[in-house]
Structure 1
Amino acid sequence: MNGLRRRLPSSGSLFVFEAAARHENFTRAADELNVTQPAVSRALAALEAHLGTRLFRRGKPGARLTEDGMILKNVVVSAFSQIDNALREVESRRTGKSRVTLSVSTAFTTHWLMPRISRFQAAFPEVDLRFQLISGAVSGPLGDVDLAMRYSAPGDEQGRFVMQEAYVPVIAPGDQGAGAKGDAAPLIQLEGNEMNRFPGGEGWTRGEADSQLSFSDYSVVVQAALVGQGVAAGWLNVVAHWICEQRLLPTRDSVIVRPGRACRVIQRQDGPQVDIADQVAQWLVRELREDVIRMHELYPELGIGALLDPLSDRGDGI
């Protein structure tokens, strides 16, 4: 172990390296570690200087591992996984609870999971549920979490199929324009989306709106729609609870927009929590699919029930 300490500038450099190697992006690694991107760059440069080799090829769109970097990554990932498993087992023995970590969007956690967290706790009193929250695009590898909700391209059958990705224009009951197309209501947008339209939704290209709201986090987009600030694109796996509760309504003449991806729950295949994580994954899938069935019963004209067919993955916008 003394030899290992001499080969590293600091033990923390391995944590920085693992995050950067997993994301192949220094900015995303910095966000995960809650430090600045220059701090990550400096730490990795110091590690490379200490080892006397390049671990990354810097450039756009990100940083790619060299052959030496891949050798180190494989060993570090394996070692970290073993340490994490041991710590989880120690914690479980001490608390009597199994810790399950879920990687999901802030919007899904806020608007779908939190309203039913008491049901989860009743079903899994022995589980300590932790979160890796993603405020931007829901992507990235599983990493060291137990479960992750991700969107997959057609043909990618990794993980448990939940539903086809889809969204519809939604608005709060009684909001200005509710029950109509929503033309009179302000448009609530996620930053980075094209303004004034719902992509792929024929009939929803609008003229210049007098009032628009734009947010960087989709959870805030949904919250703004809930409190009656306008019409928003409602991703069905996120807003399913509020549609079933009729706190959000599809606008009249809504079209269902299907980008062509599938929502899936990916599961870690090793560690002491595999069995309980599998049960949690089954619960998530079952609850979401029950919401899809309920939405279909409320709005059969939208054809929401077809989203439960894993082969129904056309990204045709209708």
Structure 2
Amino acid sequence: MSGLRRKLPSSHALFVFEAAARHENFSRAAEELNVTQPAVSRAVAALEAHLGTPLFRRGKSGARLTSEGQRLRDVVSGAFADIGAELDALASRRDGKTPITLSVSTAFTAHWLMPRIGRLRAAFREIDLRFQMIPGPVDGPTGDVDLAMRYLTADPGEALFVMQEAHIPVCAPSLHETALRGEATCILLDPEGTKAHGGGTLGFADYAIVLQGAMIGQGVAEGWLNIVAHWLCEGHLLPCVDALSITVRDCYLLNRAPEDRRAIAAELAIWIRDELHKDLTRLDHTFPRLGITRLLAPRGTG
């Protein structure tokens, strides 16, 4: 181990490199590590200087791994996965619970999962549930998590179909009449940060905040149905039109758990899907013109 320390500028450099290599995007790596993008860039540059070889090719489209970077990524990712699996096994033997890491968006966690977290814990007392929460688009690699919600255009295998992706403008009941007249502020997802856009619009970098703004009557937000389903059921949000917009993507729960945890991860995936389907079936009775139940079957089967 002492020899390895001499080959690295710091042990932290491997964690930064692994995140940057997995995303091939320094900004996303910074979000995951809770540091700034320049800090990731500096750490990677220091590692490259120490090794005397470039690991990334920088460009406008992001940071792409060189052949040397790809080889190092494969070794580091494999080592991290082995270490993580052993740490999980030690924790499981200590407290008798099975650790399961769930990768979902911050918005899904805040607005759909948290209102029913008590029921989830009661249903899965044997699970030590952990979260990888994603503030941006939920369509990237799963990394080393056990269960991941992702929005994809094709079935990726080892996945549970949840629903067809769809959205509809939503607002608080207090703003509904104003929204129907087209006079309400629009609240948008703005990946660049929080700012006023002018022309009656607001932008926020995290969709969870976008929905929070809509719920307290600050404007109309585009409501992705799997995330807003709970608040629509509870009457805290209302649809502003009578037609859904259905995208070309489907929502899946990808089971990437190792063999000893795969069965319990599959049970958790089914629980999440069934709970969401209960919400959507309830909404179909409340807003029959939307035709929500068609979203519950894979395309071409209904």
What is the TM-score normalised by the length of structure 1?
0.85
**Given that residues 243 and 289 in structure 2 are in contact (C-alpha distance below 8 angstroms), is that contact kept between their aligned partners in structure 1?**
no
What's the counterpart of residue 288 of structure 1?
276
Paired positions, count: 296
Q: What code does the residue aligned with 1:242 have?
A: W
**Residues 39-58 of structure 1 aligned to structure 2 (within 5 Å):** 39-58=39-58
Q: Distance in 2 between matches of 1:2 and 1:28?
A: 31
**Residues 47-126 of structure 1 aligned to structure 2 (within 5 Å):** 47-126=47-126
What's the counterpart of residue 259 of structure 1?
247
Secondary structure at the aligned position of 1:164 is classed as strand
**Residues 1-318 of structure 1 aligned to structure 2 (within 5 Å):** 1-154=1-154, 159-177=159-177, 181-191=180-190, 211-251=200-240, 253-270=241-258, 272-311=260-299
The list of structure 1 runs, each at least 4 consecutive aligned residues, that deviate by more than 6 angstroms after superposition, is none
Q: Distance in 2 between matches of 1:28 and 1:210?
A: 30
Secondary structure at the aligned position of 1:168 is classed as strand
Secondary structure at the aligned position of 2:85 is classed as helix
TM superposition shift of 1:158? 6.2
Gaps of 5+ in 2: 193-197
Secondary structure at the aligned position of 1:261 is classed as strand
Gaps of 5+ in 1: 194-208, 314-318
Deviates more, 1:184-193 or 1:213-222: 184-193
Q: Distance in 2 between matches of 1:283 and 1:136?
A: 24
Bigger strand fraction: 2
Secondary structure at the aligned position of 1:140 is classed as coil
**Alpha-carbon RMSD:** 2.3
TM superposition shift of 1:244? 1.6
Per-residue CA deviation, residues 99-155 of structure 1 (Å, 9 max, x unaligned), is 222111111111100111111011011222222222222232111221211111246
Seen in structure 2, the aligned counterparts of structure 1 residues 28 and 271 have a Cα distance that, compared at 3 Å, is farther
Seen in structure 2, the aligned counterparts of structure 1 residues 184 and 58 have a Cα distance that, compared at 3 Å, is closer
Secondary structure at the aligned position of 1:259 is classed as strand
Bigger helix fraction: 2
Deviates more, 1:134-143 or 1:237-246: 134-143
Deviates more, 1:51-60 or 1:69-78: 51-60
